[in-house]
């Protein structure tokens, strides 16, 4: 029979006790009979604040991204729902906009349901894919081709989470979990030009409070052409200020108590100022640095095999790891893939099933590539060739856009549009119908029309888009 431990009358399993000394990745931890020393307790409290700061960043990227989008729109002069920021000459590389495309006319509107109440969105027939996302970048509703209007146009009614009272018929009606919502619509180029899509939005897009439906305010369209503005969240400790702005503004039900408690633990609380003391500021600066580095590693060096489109050693990656716009594993049986969600929102915007699900001939599909065939990061000082096979599986068109790994926005070079598009660019095909694209600081002789410029000393990555994707 085993003798009991000193100080006990019965045998005590070692698994439920704490040694007097522990050597860990955060240093030596000291105890007296399970009681932490003052130094050990202080170290662990700081470590806990650090952990929660990292988790707050990684979980808060979607919300901070929407907040940065809202602020960028305000900087452009869009402070009300009837003011639309439009890329009427397509999105060039001046604005900072997460992996935006150079292929479609964007029409962007911020909805303020707390101020306006239920809000009407009228979209014109022929509108390309459109989406409303809430303040945490969750899907609310699709519009246009993937939406319930099926490209025929129609009236949508976006309702705030705390609305009470009757709502009229005659709308595609949805309730958002948040007050702030982002409406993003796309219009397709015609004959290689954006003019028809821009005119479609100017003539047919209307956004106004339901309460003003008898006399809605006239739409105002703000062109981004020739402008510079930022829509990307911070990657330093000011990130937490952006997140606090969201929490302070939004309906309490926008997130569950678990996430709210996580944020509260580092001082982000609704109705209270975010004012960390000097010690907490130091911890949060470190937490933001590590969290930002983690988010970058999740995307640029993923360990999840599902991040890769092919299982043959190819380096092409998907945007939606797991193929679910909610990032649920086995429809929720495995919980939420938190790393996959961070992976996506650190690099991209717009959350819709049309991007995640297999919808033949509708919407768009994406492939990301940031390394060469040997697994080395793409280098702006070197030359590369990308072959697009003949007859790629795209009903509408395909495009390739180059991006900056720092800003995750279009690569800024001597080319305003760092991209090639099968619909609008005069590409020279090979004899077999395939197209070779060339990347480098200077164009290969005779290949200028198929060349995308890069910058020596900088990395870059590309996104291949298939519009109206078909079966291979």
Using a pLDDT cut of 90, give the percent of the chain over it.
Answer: 93
Mean pLDDT over the full length of the chain: 96
What is the rounded average pLDDT of the residues 8-31?
95
> How far from chain centre, in Å, is Cα 63?
9
Distance CA 137, CA 141 (A): 12
What is the rounded average pLDDT of the residues 75-89?
98
Distance CA 176, CA 159 (A): 6
For residue 144, is pLDDT > 60?
yes
Tell me which DSSP letter residue 149 carries: T
- What does the block give as tokens for 441? 């600081």
* 190 in Cβ contact with 423 (< 8 Å): no
- What does the block give as tokens for 381? 């000082």
Distance CA 161, CA 250 (A): 10
pLDDT in tens, 362-421: 778 899 999 999 999 999 999 999 999 999 999 989 999 999 999 999 999 999 999 999
* 183 in Cβ contact with 132 (< 8 Å): yes
For residue 110, is pLDDT > 70?
yes
Token look-up 């299982």 returns 311
What is the rounded average pLDDT of the residues 278-301?
98
pTM for the predicted model, two decimal places: 0.95
What is the rounded average pLDDT of the residues 113-126?
98
Tell me what pLDDT residue 63 has: 98
- What does the block give as tokens for 147? 């939406």
- Integer angstrom CA distances of residue 437 from 100, 103, 231, 400, 453: 20, 17, 29, 9, 11
Beta bridge partners of 30: 21
Task: Mention every residue, 6+ apart, whose C-beta is less than 8 A from residue 298.
Answer: 339, 342, 343, 346
Distance CA 84, CA 72 (A): 12
For residue 2, is pLDDT > 70?
no
DSSP string, 253-321: GGS-HHHHHHHHTTT--TTS-----HHHHHHHHHHHHHHHHHHHHHHHS---GGGBS-SSS---B-SST
Tell me what pLDDT residue 3 has: 53
Q: What region does 365 belong to: left with phi over 0, alpha with psi -120 to 50, or beta? A: beta
Distance CA 157, CA 119 (A): 6
pLDDT in tens, 240-266: 999 999 999 999 999 999 999 999 999
Tell me what pLDDT residue 1 has: 41
């Amino acid at each position: 029979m085993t003798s009991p431990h000193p100080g006990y009358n019965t045998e005590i399993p070692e698994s439920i006790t704490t040694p007097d000394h522990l050597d860990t990745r955060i240093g030596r931890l000291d105890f007296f009979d399970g009681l932490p020393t003052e130094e050990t307790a202080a170290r662990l409290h700081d470590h806990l604040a650090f952990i929660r700061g990292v988790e707050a960043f990684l979980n808060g990227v979607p919300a901070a991204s929407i907040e940065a989008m809202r602020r960028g729109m305000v900087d452009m002069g869009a402070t009300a729902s009837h003011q639309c920021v439009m890329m009427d000459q397509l999105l060039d590389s001046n604005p900072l906009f997460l992996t935006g495309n150079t292929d479609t006319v964007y029409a962007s509107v911020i909805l303020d349901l707390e101020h306006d109440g239920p809000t009407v969105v009228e979209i014109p027939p022929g509108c390309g894919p459109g989406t409303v996302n809430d303040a945490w970048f969750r899907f609310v509703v699709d519009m246009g081709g993937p939406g319930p209007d099926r490209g025929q146009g129609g009236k949508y009614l976006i309702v705030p989470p705390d609305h009470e009272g009757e709502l009229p018929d005659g709308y595609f009606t949805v309730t958002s979990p948040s007050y702030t919502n982002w409406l993003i619509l796309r219009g397709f180029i015609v004959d290689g030009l954006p003019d028809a899509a821009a005119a479609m939005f100017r003539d047919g897009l209307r956004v106004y409070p339901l309460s003003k439906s008898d006399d809605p305010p006239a739409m105002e369209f703000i062109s981004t052409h020739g402008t510079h503005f930022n829509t990307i969240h911070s990657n330093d400790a000011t990130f937490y200020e952006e997140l606090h702005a969201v929490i302070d503004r939004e309906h309490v039900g926008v997130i569950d108590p678990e996430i709210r408690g996580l944020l509260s633990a580092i001082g982000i609380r609704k109705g209270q100022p975010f004012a960390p003391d000097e010690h907490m500021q130091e911890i949060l600066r470190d937490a933001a640095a590590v969290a930002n580095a983690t988010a970058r590693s999740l995307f640029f060096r993923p360990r999840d095999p599902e991040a890769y489109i092919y299982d043959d050693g190819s380096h092409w990656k998907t945007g939606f790891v797991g193929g679910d716009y909610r990032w649920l594993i086995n429809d929720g049986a495995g919980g939420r893939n938190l790393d996959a969600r961070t992976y996506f929102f650190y690099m991209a915007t717009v959350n819709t099933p049309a991007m995640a699900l297999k919808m033949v001939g509708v919407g768009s599909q994406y492939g990301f590539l940031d390394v060469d065939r040997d697994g080395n990061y793409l280098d702006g000082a070197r030359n590369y060739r990308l072959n697009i096979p003949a007859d790629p599986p795209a009903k509408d068109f395909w495009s390739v856009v180059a991006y900056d790994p720092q800003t995750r926005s279009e690569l800024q070079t001597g080319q305003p549009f760092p991209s090639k598009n099968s619909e609008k660019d005069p590409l020279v095909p090979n004899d077999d119908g395939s197209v070779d694209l060339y990347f480098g600081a200077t164009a290969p002789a005779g290949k200028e029309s198929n060349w995308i410029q890069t910058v020596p000393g900088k990395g870059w990555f590309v996104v291949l888009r298939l519009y109206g994707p078909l079966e291979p």
